[in-house]
Structure 1
């Protein structure tokens, strides 16, 4: 990797390592807050639980369903807050980076991430923990700005390979972050080291998160150069013998700005719909194992970690090589089809938990493998496709002045809006999936998701041909 690409990759590993640490902790964390605050009738969590119970009573008798489903719904609400805030701020972060520079805005967002971790360490109430999620949702900009930086320093011809490093960073961190978080969740901070302060039950994972984010901030300050407006000249288009381009890079140059804007709009819609479904199953997976298998943090961490390992192997061995041959659209569609298959396995699973536990676990493993393939392909491919529609920054070869860029095709703004659409999906998806799980159970929830994902795969045939 080139120097800037290496810096971006390492910063993403630090950032996503910090992001994935709390993932397996959510069910038990909410359970801890519930047991801690249930005796306070005026507390934020107690009022929320009363509202949940009242709504639940309209649909069915509580005795017929697991009381753990309330925790599932609360988890959906918690996940939606972060992503909804990302939906709001991502376009603004992207636009600010176009105006003031990638590095300056990235460092500014890191301050918010560090503050979020500090609040988590001290959050002994559900309300204070939600505050840390709000701060984090308003601040997180590393991924979208990393994509913009990589787009600045790569040609359209090699951009898909460069952006694959984002997916590899995700996969690596999903391998190590959740198991590390689960391990240190069992290692409470000794009372002698708390200086008399009351801390969160998972203060040790929170402190590790804080350290990682602090190291990342120092690293970016020292090592990352400014890349806005320093794009490199694209190389000549290389075509296959049949006259078709090996990816979308060459083809995108022949399209008018209006056509590229329309493609980006279509990709934003696909991004929203896909992540609306996928994030629902992704978020409820640890709640599914909590509900049906009564898994602990360690077991959930191993599950998420195994998905990350498989995804990393696919990213490094298959996706980077195959995308240049089949195109970003085809690769994304394959990932969507794999997710539909995963949802089929998960829909069948609950029917065998009591009658054939071994088969139920095998179905969970098959679903996890299919989800790993989806994680390795869809978002990266759609992001690379969207990036290829953006206009390249640089200088006009005739006048020597900075090249004029269509405002809707500026990388920071366009990719920020693209990421924003996905974050809207991530905001809506967990809430709908958890509410459905809470109302009709996992079988109908995942079956409906499978049908929706199959329909999306069929709809993507047109975009896969572009």
Structure 2
């Protein structure tokens, strides 16, 4: 069992590394292929395209994994990721970069399949802990990705993509030889309706009891986008941080989050229950964000990191609770929809937070963190209203 988890978690780390490694080299890469002085619009297009492809294909891959099995879908997506990174390494023009990044978003949608796989092989009383490990692996990937991308990009701008292709190729071989199928596929006939990415969403909206879970996932995912959009700008304008200090603060944040999500969700759920763990995570994040909003010294950011880290226990507890909302035959489909809600937040939230920061930066840059607190607060009544129930059979799409 541990061997299977290692393979799945390795795939998750590589997905996160692939997302993160492009950020340090993206401006230089776009200047290289477009010869434009201002590449910010192109960065926005690439980011939105990646998230859009995840939004479209996460429910499709999740639904296909219910019918065909988790293993073949994972293997195909890993193979596609390896080929895509090689494609990006040698793409000479903007349209080829756009195509490659779109394919990268498609292949990274295998997270929904990996989540369903973990659900298949994990007893209910251990799911919160293992989902915490899954999120910790994401944290590790997001720490490694930018560092690796920046270091390799100093030698050659395209080298990070080649490294990612090699890593994904190794992971494909590992999964092919080690990873068995986790459940018996339904082998239902696949028709065109099953490949419609909006069909699973219509299925969810037909099950009104699932909507609060979907909205909570969306809210928590949206708040997480604020850090990537505003952190560097806020640190520079509030504390006059240079790139080194911004990198150190982000690294400290990532490390604390990874440790908290790896070690705390299981004990927190046992002590507080799933609802209590979610609310504790939200409250911890809100306290830390409020402190950041009023901070005038940089050391305060590092001092509040342990409280920030406690915010990481909420999502694994929510994931564990979500798995009990549908029966085993629809886990892949449901996990795909949840992944789509995360991707939808990744499309919308950056536009919202960048606009808000533009409004508040002149008078009070820290006010951006209070806006995040307000959005967090929207999740509280939804969490309090959740019904903790056993899985029920749901209609097929």
TM-score normalised by structure 1 residue count: 0.69
**1:138 counterpart = 2:85:** no
1:91 to 44, 54, 59: 59
Distance of 1:300 and 1:32 partners within structure 2: 22
1:325 to 271, 286, 291: 271
Contact 2:229-2:350 within 8 A present in 1 as well:
yes
**1:379 counterpart = 2:315:** yes
Structure 1 stretches of at least 4 aligned residues deviating more than 6 Å after TM superposition:
none
Equivalent in the alignment of 1:460? 383
**1:225 CA displacement:** 0.5
**1:226 CA displacement:** 1.0
Q: Evaluate the alpha carbon distance shift between residue 263 and residue 383 of structure 1 in structure 2; reply closer, same or farther with a 3 A threshold.
A: farther
**1:286 CA displacement:** 3.6
Residue deviations 1:300-324 (CA, integer Å, cap 9, x gap): 5443332222123223332222212
Distance of 1:100 and 1:112 partners within structure 2: 18
**1:308 counterpart = 2:228:** no
Contact 1:85-1:134 within 8 A present in 2 as well:
yes
Equivalent in the alignment of 1:364? 301
Contact 2:288-2:308 within 8 A present in 1 as well:
yes
Higher radius of gyration, 1 or 2: 1
Distance of 1:368 and 1:263 partners within structure 2: 35
Equivalent in the alignment of 1:67? none
Contact 2:61-2:110 within 8 A present in 1 as well:
no
Equivalent in the alignment of 2:82? 114
- Any residues of structure 2 matched to 1:95-174 within 5 Å, and which? 95-123=63-91, 127-174=95-142
Equivalent in the alignment of 1:278? 224
- Any residues of structure 2 matched to 1:230-245 within 5 Å, and which? none
Distance of 1:36 and 1:168 partners within structure 2: 35
1:446 to 369, 386, 395: 369
1:416 to 336, 341, 355: 336
Distance of 1:315 and 1:79 partners within structure 2: 26
**1:30 counterpart = 2:21:** no
Equivalent in the alignment of 1:216? 171
Contact 1:19-1:209 within 8 A present in 2 as well:
no
**1:279 CA displacement:** 1.5
Q: Evaluate the alpha carbon distance shift between residue 388 and residue 220 of structure 1 in structure 2; reply closer, same or farther with a 3 A threshold.
A: same
**1:438 CA displacement:** 3.5
**1:295 counterpart = 2:242:** yes
Q: Evaluate the alpha carbon distance shift between residue 220 and residue 286 of structure 1 in structure 2; reply closer, same or farther with a 3 A threshold.
A: farther
Distance of 1:135 and 1:389 partners within structure 2: 31
Question: What residue ranges of structure 2 are gaps of 5+ in the alignment?
Answer: 187-203, 390-397
Q: Evaluate the alpha carbon distance shift between residue 154 and residue 305 of structure 1 in structure 2; reply closer, same or farther with a 3 A threshold.
A: same
Report SS of the residue matched to 1:141: helix
